[in-house]
Amino acid sequence: MPAVRHLGLCHRGAMTLPASSRELTDDEWQLVELARATIDANTDADPDQDGVHTMGAAVFAADGRMFSGVNLYHFTGGPCAELVALAAARACGARDIKTVGNHGRGPVGPCGRDRQVLFDYYSGIRVILPTEHGVRSVLITDLMPLAALWTVDGGTQPFDPALFTHH
Ligand SMILES: [Zn+2]
């Protein structure tokens, strides 16, 4: 039987943060606080219990307004809090979203689906998430390396390096 070889490299040093990573502004901390307050006020579960509303998220519109949402868990794929917050902003007339905050059990990074939606809708958006160096704000493009943009009109687009150059 062939020996199983360990091919992974174990780097125990600090992870390199994306180039766009930076500490949160006071405004972004407000967003995190809104997400936390929203889920704390509206969850159906105590800490360490399961529930269907367990995560909150908040977004900044470009005009400075903040909108929040909670997740709608369902086995058929109910939306995460990030997507609900985006829709709430849209419903109130916000057309340009700047930042997404994410909270619940402390800041949690968006799942893969949310990353794709954020990238496709707002490719210049910043996302607040925990890192090895604490809570940071990073551009969505740094969370979706080599991603192909999907658009309503054209579907999945050819890879566009220009999307990944803004910081
Ligand atoms: Zn999600």
Q: Examine the residue annotation and report whether 82 is marked as an active-site residue of this protein.
A: yes
Q: What phi and psi, each to the nearest 5 degrees, are found at residue 106? A: 80, 165
Cα 122 to ligand 1 centroid, rounded to whole Å: 16
Say what the pLDDT of residue 10 is.
Answer: 46
Instruction: Tell me the Ramachandran region of residue 29: left when phi exceeds 0, alpha when psi lies from -120 to 50, beta otherwise.
Output: alpha
Domains of the chain (ranges plus CATH)? Answer: 20-164 (3.40.140.10)
- Catalytic position from the list 23, 28, 33, 82: 82
Contacts of 4 (CB under 8 A, 6+ apart): none
Cα 53 to ligand 1 centroid, rounded to whole Å: 13
With cut-offs at 50, 70 and 90, classify the pLDDT of residue 47. Answer: confident
Burial class (CB in 10 A: 0-12, 13-18, 19+), 72: middle
Cα 34 to ligand 1 centroid, rounded to whole Å: 18
Cα 77 to ligand 1 centroid, rounded to whole Å: 10
Residue 3 has pLDDT above 70, yes or no: no
Q: What is the mean pLDDT of residues 123-134?
A: 94
Cα 5 to ligand 1 centroid, rounded to whole Å: 35
**What percentage of the chain exceeds 70 in pLDDT?**
90
Q: What is the pLDDT of residues 98-121, one digit of tens each?
A: 989 887 778 999 999 999 999 999
With cut-offs at 50, 70 and 90, classify the pLDDT of residue 12. Answer: low
